[in-house]
Structure 1
């Protein structure tokens, strides 16, 4: 009887060892899978953070450009109004100055033919 009893105990212990081995193996494998998922999620979060910072930087740059453009437009409008109100605004332009201005216009058109006012050749 004793050998059967020992065999039963050995069988129960073997069964417990197998179940325990399967349990811990599953936990280890599950942890490995979760670690990969966590690493992928962290990498995705880092990429998203970089994209968000890039978008914010772009918005800041666009804001600066818009402000500069608005300031330049206001400055040009003010200078135009002042030039129209100047005492010599309606005086004829000196011919030599007109020739110099035309020469500068030609140079600009040669440098950048897509500018408005440049004749297409």
Structure 2
């Protein structure tokens, strides 16, 4: 082989090495970018799982509150009906007991001014 052929072969080899190194460098950067994207996706998935868990807990607390409130209202309704239909419902209360009930009503109105009958006591 002539010197010119060796020089041409060396040039082609050098260009091939440069192209291969550029190709591999690009692939390694691409891998790093994909790794970063995967880490971001994992973080977002973990955050979404926490948000779903918190939403589930909030829904459970809301459900429990509504059940208690509904149960309390039903219990109060039942006791009110029983009290109105009692044998001694028309008899006057003793003064001491009436005073205790008025005090309890006043305290309820202080705690929850929106209750029925509380606006008239102010």
Q: State if a TM-score over 0.5 links the two structures.
A: yes
Q: TM-score, normalised by structure 2?
A: 0.84
Whole-Å Cα distance in 1 between the matches of residues 65 and 109 of structure 2? 28
CA deviations 1:46-94 (Å, max 9, x no partner) are: 1111111111111111111111111111111111111111101111111
Partner of 1:56: 56
Decide which moves more: 53-62 or 21-30: 53-62
| Cα root mean square deviation, aligned | 2.1
8 Å CA contact 1:83, 1:89 repeated in 2: yes
1:74 is paired with a residue of what secondary structure? helix
Aligned partners of 2:100, 2:43: CA distance in 1, in Å?
62
Q: Displacement of 1:114 after TM fit?
A: 4.1
Mapped partners of 1:109, 1:77: distance in 2: 17
For structure 1, which runs of at least 5 residues remain unmatched after alignment?
none
Q: Give the Å deviation of 1:2.
A: 1.8
Aligned length: 119
- Whole-Å Cα distance in 2 between the matches of residues 105 and 73 of structure 1? 17
Structure 1: distance between partners of 2:77 and 2:61: 24
Equivalent positions of 1:1-121 (< 5 A) are 2-106=2-106, 108=107, 112=111, 114=113, 116=115, 117=118, 119-120=121-122
The normalised TM-score by structure 1 is 0.85
Higher relative contact order, structure no. (Cα contacts within 8 Å, ≥ 6 residues apart): 2
